Amino acid sequence: MSYPYQITSLKHYQEEYKRSVDTPEEFWADIANHFTWHRKWDQVLDWNFYEPRIEWFKGGKLNITENCLDRWVETQPNATAIIWEPNDPSEPHRTFTYKELHHKVCQFANVLKSNGATRGDRICIYMPMVPELTIAILACARIGAIHSVVFGGFSAQSIADRIQDAQCNIVLTADGGFRGNKSIPLKAVIDEALTTCPSVEKVIVLTRTSVPVSMIKGRDVWWEDEINKVEAQGNPICKAEIMDAEDLLFILYTSGSTGKPKGVVHTCGGYMVWTNYTFVNVFQYQPGQVHFCTADIGWVTGHSYIIYGPLSAGATSLMFEGIPTWPDAGRFWEIVDKHAVDILYTAPTAIRSLMSFGTDPIKGKKLHSLKVLGTVGEPINEEAWHWYDEHIGKRNCPIVDTWWQTETGGVLISNLAGITKAKPSFATLPLPGIQPVLVDENGKKIEGNGVSGNLCIQFPWPGMLRTTFGDHERCRTTYFSTYENLYFTGDGCLRDNEGDYRITGRVDDVLNVSGHRIGTAEVENAINMHTGVVESAVVGYPHDIKGQGIYAYVIFNGIHIDENQTRLDISQTVSKIIGAIAKPDKIQFVSGLPKTRSGKIMRRILRKIAEGELANLGDTSTLLDPLVVEEIKSNKL
Ligand code: WTA
């Protein structure tokens, strides 16, 4: 096995990049030809960014799971597809060959069918990081059902919002999940969510933690029992549903600057080609290597670089149930040695957190197997980059700094490991097919090098989002209307004198906390639901480990017990409404918020105060009540 479209040198990259811009349709057809299709496309690309309408491999027929499983069962049935490392290091790890994974996926696909699932259904998945999660996702894709995975850290309310938005009829969950020394009661959270989700008819529950759970007659069934039933029927095969290239593959909810999270939609053909192409090229994956992406499958990184990218490339993908700091801060390194990991792909937050433990946890760890390191999710500071390079890569492993988004499906800007040069804190160069442009506030393109602006992409790529579920207009206004004929990323960006790109962070009201996207408006809405809260404003501030922390200014009526208790109560409310990941790091009680005469909160000022830049707040003369700024400054936390 080899990848004919793998880039092998800098010159080759330059040639491929040029070809992708000059003749994009031929370029992508050449790559797509290396996949399994039931019918090839009539047209490679049909698009406009006005509606927007983006169609790749139009008329093509395929099933992504035949590309992730069946074709490898034919050529390398005994190659390892998944290595699963449990939370508790004393529990045995599990491995699945392509043949075994194929069998498990078919089996569970039959379970889904026998529970009434059909093509086009939306299935919500709220599960711990166990192999059955991967099996469940692929089983949905097998039968043409659309998966909507919800991260295990989200609250019942957040799950309910997502289930209602997508009108899911089936939920896949587990009794609970393990993370470090905690056990998370997933089924209990689902039970709470489902009190407001009449669309859900069936809940299939996997046993993981063996905590007592309620099982409602007619609605809830045990995963294991259902497997036994389909086994008894003796049909081990589930034929793959033949899908249109543009049929929906999955929905993944993500935060924006306004309102509730939106369901980003990816489709079968383009997403498959894009995740595969970027996986093979960015990480320079070589057959037989072990790829360890530490993300949770609840986020897009897990979808694209634990499941679809690696498996569609016949790779070995390592899936880890636990957290980097349990039982101790050497856990990642222990896993690297135990499974001879070749490629480690993690987040700057994890690196900074592990860095804070010093180098003791690395002592005695060999890390000899490592060849490529990667980061994703937020800008990586130079200190963390160098620590990663020196202590983990031993200055011997290229680091790929991969910039992308839930909406982009896969990596858009990154160096290619060992092929194009790395530059600390720079994502560097666009992948073939990606045409980035920087624009100023008025949407005017900024040409040349040594410039900064808002990052847009001016041409479609196969892995881009197609719509936001149930609300196409929202997709248009969020991404395609700020600047005419451009996809707007929401990120600020610098292009240095050598033409390398450095992402500088969000320019909208989206926070990136520990690499997790959270909208300030979402957090404000949750805080405002707490009794006694009159109004609130949320901004980000630099945080040593998390990248960004959440700073909330709150106008409160009648402190209950004392300020600290009220802070904890407000945090608890946020945790209930969104999930623990959205808890504010700091809550400052204020008597008023700085507002313009038209009543708009001046976030710029609040951001500066939270950042500790008290001296230079800019013009405050347009404020309704400039005195409020003095009060906020003097009580800053
Ligand atoms: C940020 C995660 C700098 C960026 C795959 C983007 C990054 C948001 C990088 C998307 C990077 C992601 N350098 N910033 N290498 N990667 N980001 O949707 O602000 O969870 O818009 O997708 O993370 O977050 P999302």
The predicted structure's pLDDT at residue 619: 78
Does ligand 1 come within 6 angstroms of the Cβ of 405? yes
> Who wins on pLDDT, 560 or 563?
563
* DSSP single-letter state for residue 228: H
Name the 3-class secondary structure at 340. Answer: coil
Single out the residue in 241, 274, 299 at which a domain terminates: 241
The predicted structure's pLDDT at residue 624: 81
Sign of CA dihedral 71, 92, 136, 276: negative
pLDDT band at 488 (very low <50, low <70, confident <90, very high): very high
Let me know: does 503 contact 491? Beta carbons within 8 Å.
yes
117 inside domain = yes
**CB proximity list for 98: less than 8 A, separation 6 or greater:** 69, 72, 73, 76, 77, 78, 79, 80, 81, 314
pLDDT tens-digit series, residues 96-149: 999 999 999 999 999 999 999 999 999 999 999 999 999 999 999 999 999 999
Structure tokens at 537: 């404003």
Question: Between the CA of residue 119 and those of 13, 129, 133, 149, 578, what are the distances in Å?
Answer: 39, 25, 19, 17, 30
DSSP annotation string for 311-334 = HHTT-EEEEE-S-TTSS-TTHHHH
Single out the residue in 241, 261, 296 at which a domain terminates: 241
pLDDT band at 555 (very low <50, low <70, confident <90, very high): very high
The predicted structure's pLDDT at residue 450: 97
Atom of ligand 1 nearest to the CA of 503: 3
**CB proximity list for 494: less than 8 A, separation 6 or greater:** 451, 452, 501, 502, 504
Question: Which residue of 346, 388, 517 sits with most ligand 1 atoms within 8 Å of its CB, as the best mutation to test the pocket?
Answer: 517
Peptide bond into 86 cis (omega under 30): no
The pTM of the full predicted model, rounded to 2 decimals, is 0.96
The predicted structure's pLDDT at residue 1: 56
Does ligand 1 come within 6 angstroms of the Cβ of 296? no
Does ligand 1 come within 6 angstroms of the Cβ of 571? no
Q: Residue with structure tokens 């892995």?
A: 463
Atom of ligand 1 nearest to the CA of 299: 20
Q: Which residues pair with 536 in a beta bridge?
A: 554
400 inside domain = no
Does ligand 1 come within 6 angstroms of the Cβ of 402? yes
Does ligand 1 come within 6 angstroms of the Cβ of 409? no
628 inside domain = yes
Atom of ligand 1 nearest to the CA of 254: 18
Q: Residue whose CA is closest, atom 5 of ligand 1?
A: 405
105 inside domain = yes
Residue 628 belongs to domain spanning? 511-634
**CB proximity list for 286: less than 8 A, separation 6 or greater:** 342
428 inside domain = no
Average pLDDT, the chain: 96
pLDDT tens-digit series, residues 78-87: 999 999 999 9
Question: Which residue of 253, 266, 308, 378 sits with most ligand 1 atoms within 8 Å of its CB, as the best mutation to test the pocket?
Answer: 378
Q: Distance between the two ends of the chain, CA-based, in angstroms? A: 58
Let me know: does 65 contact 73? Beta carbons within 8 Å.
no
- In this predicted structure, which of 210-224, 428-442, 476-490, 601-615 has the lowest mean pLDDT? 601-615
189 inside domain = yes
Let me know: does 163 contact 171? Beta carbons within 8 Å.
yes
Single out the residue in 209, 241, 273 at which a domain terminates: 241
pLDDT tens-digit series, residues 144-181: 999 999 999 999 999 999 999 999 999 999 999 999 99
* DSSP single-letter state for residue 241: P
Q: Residue whose CA is closest, atom 8 of ligand 1?
A: 405
408 inside domain = no
**Nearest-angstrom CA–CA distance, 226 and 427:** 46
Tell me: pLDDT of 205 over 90: yes
Structure tokens at 214: 């309620």
Other residues' Cβ atoms within 10 Å of the Cβ of residue 347: 23
pLDDT tens-digit series, residues 232-281: 998 789 999 999 999 999 999 998 877 788 999 999 999 999 999 999 99
278 inside domain = no
Measured in Å, residue 514 CA sits from the centre of ligand 1 at 11
Structural domain count of the chain: 2
Q: Which residues pair with 538 in a beta bridge?
A: 552
Tell me: pLDDT of 500 over 80: yes
Q: Residue whose CA is closest, atom 4 of ligand 1?
A: 378
CATH number for the domain harbouring residue 168: 3.40.50.980
CATH number for the domain harbouring residue 571: 3.30.300.30
The long-range contacts involving 116-121, CB below 8 angstroms and separated by at least 24 positions, are 116/169, 116/170, 116/201, 116/202, 117/143, 117/145, 117/169, 117/170, 118/143, 118/144, 118/145, 119/143, 119/144, 119/145, 119/241, 120/144, 120/145, 120/146, 120/248, 121/145, 121/146, 121/168, 121/169, 121/170
